[in-house]
Amino acid sequence: MTNAMTIVGSSIIVVLIAGYIAQKYLPPPKPAIVGIDLGTTFSCVSVFYSGKGTVEVIPDELGRKTIPSVVAIPSKNTYFVGYNALELSNYDSSRVFYDAKRFIGQQFTEAKFNMEKQRYPFNVMRLYGTVAVFEAGHGAVVELYKAEEISSFVLSYLKKMAENYLKVNRVQRAVMSVPAEFDELQRNATIEAARLAGIEVLRLISEPTAAALAYGLHKKENTRHVVIFDLGGGTLDVSVLIVLGGMFITRAIAGYIYIYIYIHIQLGHNHLGGQDFNHKLFQHLMQVIEEQYGFLLTDEDDLHSLRMAVEQAKLQLTNATETLIEIQLKSLTVDKENHHRKQQQPVTFSYQLTRDLFEKLNHQLFLKVLKPIEAALADANMKADDVDEVVMVGGSTRIPKIRYIVSNYFNKSLNCEIDPELAVAIGVGVQAGVMAQAWPVQVSATEIPFKSKKIHIYDDEIDLKQ
């Protein structure tokens, strides 16, 4: 009997050792579940690697990890997504659709719909009296697309990116993030968009919770009250969370309702976000060009070049105190001698931009970021001193002046350890690893549903939870 027990015990030890060796030295299984951040402006997809315990945000073929949430439908049964769609907006903005996330699962009254549709260069109409649909006209043929369908095109693109990168036949399951204030209709519509893209949604988690997961706040001692400051390309949202181990409770949310300004060169609208900051600089440079050359710039190619230069300059000023903007303006020409003959050549516009000037141009906009912070804290019955951690999310939080203003308000250092554009995607990637039972085991997020209402801030006024 003793010998038998010894043999059994030895066999178990051998199996355990073999399993350890296999886990340590054999290649881990390819991720079966992805995490998806379907954003208003940009979207991305991530995976959790079993064995390594790391999350990677998947790049496209050019190494870009964030994809514009833009869909162009130039003809029937043909569509483009992301950067390719963005390029088409320079030629026919009426067939380039974006902001689907603002419409998904929404029920519109006539008054609200009429206000919304004026903000876009493409056609939007109401179906069944309440549902907004996007209208793509192709000659005599008109096609209607729900927000779920537009979003499904973006999700299909992300799905294909993941399949190509991971070298798998099909990616079929995902964890997705949604705004904390999304109601059941909006959440179900998001799940439907994924279904249309051939993706089964195993779980939805809120964007603030995803960001908190990415930063590992559930593992930190003495971190209970957390503010998630999310400033992206077109939105600003501030969330107050209570973190108790793996439990995340959203106490309050406040954000700016975007302020409409029709700008043909900026996809037709403007929000409190990175695009606003770009537009202030763009307006300044347009004025400089007009004063310098006596000519108002209207050429589409030149406007596009200037817009790209503005975005690049803003990014460079994150780390540099000044940068040179230099572009060719094809619509402006000068006579130049070439082999003793005068030839018309494009003007090269050069401008030395300092960070100080960029901050001066955007001074009033930068100060507006404090209003949703104040509103969210007040709704949560908290003061700035009560906050243990401030997490920065969204690409526009890289702007040094934004960080200074927020840090100064809370009188503490900000948590900027993770790429702010990828924080939500990393968080849903962690939760995807949990759902896949990947090793090492992560703490699953337990959320208490947000049952209150988001505080909407309209420029200088606060709309208290309508």
Known catalytic residue: 417?
Answer: no
Which of these, 63, 291, 248, lies nearest to 161 by C-alpha position?
A: 63
Q: Give the C-alpha separation, 48 to 43, whole Å.
A: 17
Asked whether residue 382 is domain-assigned, the answer is no
| Per-residue pLDDT, 381 | 95
Would you state the structure tokens that stand for residue 118, as one six-digit string? 């004026």
| Per-residue pLDDT, 315 | 93
Q: Which of 60, 99, 181, 207 is catalytic?
A: 207
In order of 304, 339, 350, 352, the CA distances from 323 in angstroms are 19, 34, 11, 6
Tens of pLDDT, residue by residue, the chain (466 residues): 556 555 545 655 655 555 555 555 556 677 889 999 999 889 999 999 998 899 999 999 999 999 999 999 998 889 999 999 988 876 777 889 998 998 999 988 888 888 888 778 889 998 887 888 999 977 767 899 999 999 999 999 999 999 999 999 999 999 999 999 899 999 999 999 999 999 999 999 999 999 999 999 888 888 999 999 999 877 789 999 999 988 999 999 998 754 332 222 223 223 467 878 998 999 999 999 999 999 899 887 888 889 889 999 999 999 999 999 999 998 988 766 555 555 678 899 999 999 999 999 999 999 999 999 999 999 999 999 999 999 999 999 999 999 999 999 999 999 999 999 999 999 999 999 999 988 886 677 888 888 778 887 866 443 444 3
Asked whether residue 443 is domain-assigned, the answer is no
Q: Residues near 228 by Cβ (< 8 Å), separated by ≥ 6?
A: 207, 208, 211, 212, 237, 238, 239, 241, 391, 393
Q: Give the C-alpha separation, 344 to 337, whole Å.
A: 9
Would you state the structure tokens that stand for residue 30, as one six-digit string? 């390819």
Helices (H), 294-422: 300-316, 355-361, 363-367, 370-379, 400-410
- For 261, what's the count of Cα atoms within 13 Å in the CB-facing half-sphere? 14
| Predicted structure pTM score | 0.84
| Per-residue pLDDT, 261 | 28
Domain count, the chain: 1
Q: Which of 101, 146, 368, 454 is catalytic?
A: 101
Asked whether residue 170 is domain-assigned, the answer is no
Would you state the structure tokens that stand for residue 106, as one six-digit string? 């929404």
Q: Which of 56, 148, 192, 230 is catalytic?
A: 230
In this structure, is the dihedral angle defined by the CA atoms of residues 78, 83, 86 and 88, taken in order, positive or negative? negative
Q: Give the C-alpha separation, 440 to 461, whole Å.
A: 48
- Count, in order, helices (H) and strands (E) of the chain: 14, 21
Q: Residues near 380 by Cβ (< 8 Å), separated by ≥ 6?
A: 240, 251, 252
Q: Which of 37, 99, 149, 302 is catalytic?
A: 37
| Per-residue pLDDT, 355 | 98
Would you state the structure tokens that stand for residue 361, as one six-digit string? 């141009």
- What is the total residue count of the chain? 466
Asked whether residue 95 is domain-assigned, the answer is no
- Which residue type is seen at 386? D
Asked whether residue 434 is domain-assigned, the answer is no
State which residues form the domain around 349: 273-363
Known catalytic residue: 314?
Answer: no
Asked whether residue 186 is domain-assigned, the answer is no
Asked whether residue 78 is domain-assigned, the answer is no
| Per-residue pLDDT, 435 | 93
Q: Which residue has the tokens 């003495």?
A: 222
Buried b (16+ CB within 10 A) or exposed e, 209-248: bbbbbbbebbeeeebebbbbbbbbbbbbbbbbbebeeeeb
Known catalytic residue: 143?
Answer: no
Known catalytic residue: 379?
Answer: no
- Mapped onto helix, strand or coil, the DSSP state of residue 230 is strand
Q: What is the CATH number of the domain that holds 322?
A: 3.90.640.10
Asked whether residue 281 is domain-assigned, the answer is yes
Q: Give the C-alpha separation, 347 to 327, whole Å.
A: 8
